[in-house]
Chains A and B, each alone.
Chain A
Amino acid sequence: MASMTFDGIGKTFPDGTVAVANVSFAIADGEFVVLVGPSGCGKSTLLRMAAGLETLNTGRLLMDDADVTNTEPQDRDIAMVFQNYALYPHMTVYENMAFGLQQRRMPKDRIDRLVRDAAEMLDLTRYLARKPGQLSGGQRQRVAMGRAIVRHPMAFLMDEPLSNLDAKLRVQMRSELKLLNQRLGVTTLYVTHDQVEAMTMGDRVAVLKPVQDAGESNLQQIDTPQMLYDRPANLFVAGFIGSPAMNFVRVDLVEEGGGLTAKVVGTDIAFKAPQGEALSAYAGRQVIAGIRPEMFSVCRPEEAVFHQEIPVAEALGADTFVFFDIPSPAVDVNDAEEREDFSRKGMNRMVARIPPAATPRLNARLPLTIDVAALHWFDPADGRAIRD
């Protein structure tokens, strides 16, 4: 068990590509931290640097206050679970798990006990004599876990360990991994591109973003899942966390009758903005309002803020998501790779969560109001959240 500190970590590849820049955060002993972000955001590179498989150009990496920046992977006492498991194909499950212990010159009976304990914990006892090629994907995944936990390392590093499993197994393994972490109390750094995985598993989640040059930082925000959701630091985090994603609209803030009114650009839609010092400073300027799908509620037509035709409705059983377009420019949140932009030119596609009973007929207009107090506001210049 160990704490881990990333101190101003940076990595530029020889061809000049900046993979990671200015990343600093600390993981407490026993904590489960998830690195999440779209492809190319440097999350795997960060993890490989923690493992020692990738060198860093700038910054320091500490484990329990000891500088391990230049320590070889062999000497770091960490275990890694790879995306494709990287099991030794010519060894049995038993040998796969015992290999790391044999390298420590541990007595045979002790190895045997540790391997059997780990196999028991992961329900692999029946498969100990099999080779990885004879196992299913889920079983291989458990062997990879077994190989990591059998060593009782200082930290676990996991590189998208569930991404090769089918959806049902993934959900099941998610909670099993989380339970395992709580039971073993080993510091864990976990990489995923799936924000649901990040939110459900992490004690804290670090949201990363691709960087263009070494002056920026990949790290957008690191916080508990709920805080990321409730108080995203900027547009990128707000757009990345939450499913379906937050709606963004450009609004002009106008002072009217002693309060602020937000007028959605390009439309005659307007609503009262909440009172607040930070937001008041933006009076007379354009800002971006973030509306989570669940902030909408169906109302009487005369109370409606949005009153649009609904061309698409997705019924999920407990909830229904309705989609509609407003004739306002779409907001680019800089993660185009992850989110397809289905909006028509000059239109901004919005999504609202409504009770299934309120689902309108196809292409009928649905009156929707919003919980103004719960809105998020962002500065359009740098994307930072506007808060008191």
Chain B
Amino acid sequence: MSATIARSPQALPPARRSFVRRNLPYLLIAPSVIMLLALIAYPLLFALRSSFYFWNLQIGPEPQAFVGFDNYVQAFNAFDFQDALVNTLILSIAGTAIEFVLGLSIALLLLRALPGMNVVRALLILPTTIAPIVVGFLFRYLYDPGGGLITWLLKSTGLPIPPEGLLGSPTTALAAVLFADVWQWTPFFAIVLYASLLSVPDEIIEAARLDRASAWTILMRIKLPLIRRTAVIIVMLRFMQLFNTFDTVLVLTRGGPGTSTRTLGYSLYEQGLINFNIGLVSAMTWITVLIVNVIVALYVFFAFRNEEW
């Protein structure tokens, strides 16, 4: 068959035809590969190279001196590195966990055909569609020590509010940042988990009920295992996003007070776009990339173990 086609008069000259044919798969994936290389590999390698130089844009446009691993040493020893790392870990782990649990609870509620659930479903998507910067501004007003709604609500329920405001006190600032993120991203978990819970057949749940399983057992041993793949993936995505938290922090607290809400993302921004310390920020980028990848690799290893995909 193919021979007939190849000999047809419209066919390309043999040399060109065979080149196209032999390399067709590569030609087809080439655009994606080129994009990936240009947008991810090149910047990362550029940053890797820069991280070995002293290079401050305020001094000059070209790298000023090769310094070996000095930038890495300086990054680890920076006054804010440890705090930023701890804050980032707290924010990412607590944020992902809280959002997952709350999102799952909302998803389970949505499954109940309660009146008004259609409206709730539609409203739920809203916070996720707002830019984090806007969420930041929104919560700045809500947290305002003078007349913010959240401040007022907490006060009227008799909870102690630090006099400098929720964002102004080192004890509450990180929790306040976390809360804004939870507000924005819980619906994302709710909607994705709701969609995947819908795919669990009713008969399986009914069979479990007849097997005398309690609602809790059905959740833990039937529903969650069946939506495991989706859950594993969105938890991973959300963790990686949270690990890079920067914009909400920028708008809400600028990493303060002190270093109490400083994240790795915010430190990167400060070194790169305020101090223009390209060499140092490149080293910090690489440290962050490595930490995220180690955590995600461990997570993937444990989550996907014993899993047939």
Q: Residues of A with Cβ closer than 8 Å to B?
A: 51, 53, 72-76, 78-80, 82, 84, 86-90, 99-100, 103-104, 147, 151
The 4 closest A-B CB pairs, nearest first, are A86-B203, A100-B211, A103-B212, A86-B207
Contact A103:B213 (CB < 8 A) given known A86-B204, A88-B222: yes
A-side contacts of B201, CB under 8 Å: 84, 86
Contact with A along B216-229 (1 / 0, CB 8 A): 01000110011010
**Partner among A53, A75, A76, A103 whose Cβ is within 8 Å of the Cβ of B206:** A53
Q: Is the CB of A80 within 8 A of B210?
A: yes
Q: Is the CB of B207 within 8 A of A80?
A: yes
Min C-beta distance of B197 to chain A, whole Å: 15
Chain A residue, CB-CB nearest to B200: A89
Q: Is the CB of A90 within 8 A of B210?
A: no
Q: Is the CB of B211 within 8 A of A103?
A: yes
Q: Residues of B with Cβ closer than 8 Å to A?
A: 201, 203-204, 206-214, 217, 221-222, 225-226, 228
**Partner among A53, A78, A80, A99 whose Cβ is within 8 Å of the Cβ of B213:** A99
A-side contacts of B203, CB under 8 Å: 82, 84, 86
Seed contacts A74-B213, A78-B210, A99-B213; 9 additional CB < 8 Å A-B pairs? A73-B209, A80-B210, A82-B203, A82-B206, A82-B207, A99-B208, A104-B212, A147-B207, A147-B211
CA distance A72 to B225 in the complex (A): 24
Q: Is the CB of A74 within 8 A of B206?
A: no
Chain A residue, CB-CB nearest to B205: A86
A-side contacts of B208, CB under 8 Å: 88, 99
Chain A residue, CB-CB nearest to B206: A53
Name which of B204, B210, B226 has the most chain A CB atoms within 10 A of its CB: B210
Contact A99:B211 (CB < 8 A) given known A84-B203, A88-B204: yes
CA distance A80 to B209 in the complex (A): 10
B-side contacts of A80, CB under 8 Å: 206-207, 210
> Can you offer 22 A-B residue contacts whose CB atoms are under 8 A?
A51-B206, A51-B210, A53-B209, A72-B209, A73-B209, A74-B212, A76-B210, A80-B207, A80-B210, A82-B206, A84-B201, A84-B203, A86-B203, A87-B207, A88-B207, A88-B222, A90-B225, A90-B228, A99-B211, A99-B221, A100-B212, A147-B207
A-side contacts of B209, CB under 8 Å: 53, 72-74
Q: Is the interface of A mostly helix, strand, loop or mixed?
A: loop
Chain A residue, CB-CB nearest to B212: A103
A-side contacts of B212, CB under 8 Å: 74-75, 100, 103-104
B-side contacts of A75, CB under 8 Å: 212
Min C-beta distance of A131 to chain B, whole Å: 8
A-side contacts of B222, CB under 8 Å: 88
Min C-beta distance of B228 to chain A, whole Å: 8
CA distance A99 to B214 in the complex (A): 12
CA distance A80 to B217 in the complex (A): 19
A-side contacts of B228, CB under 8 Å: 90
B-side contacts of A53, CB under 8 Å: 206, 209-210
Min C-beta distance of B105 to chain A, whole Å: 22
B-side contacts of A74, CB under 8 Å: 209-210, 212-214
A-side contacts of B210, CB under 8 Å: 51, 53, 73-74, 76, 78-80, 100
Min C-beta distance of B292 to chain A, whole Å: 30
CA distance A90 to B201 in the complex (A): 13
A-side contacts of B226, CB under 8 Å: 89-90
Name which of B201, B207, B212, B213 has the most chain A CB atoms within 10 A of its CB: B207
B-side contacts of A73, CB under 8 Å: 206, 209-210
CA distance A183 to B185 in the complex (A): 57
CA distance A88 to B220 in the complex (A): 13
Q: Is the CB of A103 within 8 A of B207?
A: no
Min C-beta distance of A71 to chain B, whole Å: 12
Min C-beta distance of B139 to chain A, whole Å: 40
CA distance A89 to B214 in the complex (A): 19
Min C-beta distance of A99 to chain B, whole Å: 5
Name which of A76, A78, A86, A100 has the most chain B CB atoms within 10 A of its CB: A86
B-side contacts of A100, CB under 8 Å: 210-212
Chain B residue, CB-CB nearest to A159: B203
CA distance A72 to B208 in the complex (A): 13
CA distance A169 to B204 in the complex (A): 24
CA distance A240 to B211 in the complex (A): 35
Min C-beta distance of A327 to chain B, whole Å: 50
CA distance A56 to B192 in the complex (A): 34
Chain A residue, CB-CB nearest to B221: A99
A-side contacts of B211, CB under 8 Å: 99-100, 103, 147, 151
CA distance A86 to B210 in the complex (A): 12
CA distance A56 to B207 in the complex (A): 20
B-side contacts of A147, CB under 8 Å: 207, 211
Min C-beta distance of B221 to chain A, whole Å: 8
Min C-beta distance of A259 to chain B, whole Å: 59
Contact A86:B225 (CB < 8 A) given known A74-B214, A100-B212: no
Chain A residue, CB-CB nearest to B225: A90
B-side contacts of A88, CB under 8 Å: 204, 207-208, 222
Min C-beta distance of A318 to chain B, whole Å: 40
Min C-beta distance of B220 to chain A, whole Å: 12
Chain B residue, CB-CB nearest to A82: B203
CA distance A147 to B212 in the complex (A): 13
Min C-beta distance of B200 to chain A, whole Å: 10
CA distance A72 to B212 in the complex (A): 10
Min C-beta distance of B147 to chain A, whole Å: 48
B-side contacts of A99, CB under 8 Å: 208, 211, 213, 221
CA distance A100 to B207 in the complex (A): 9
Min C-beta distance of A9 to chain B, whole Å: 19
CA distance A284 to B214 in the complex (A): 66
B-side contacts of A51, CB under 8 Å: 206, 210
CA distance A51 to B226 in the complex (A): 24
A-side contacts of B217, CB under 8 Å: 103
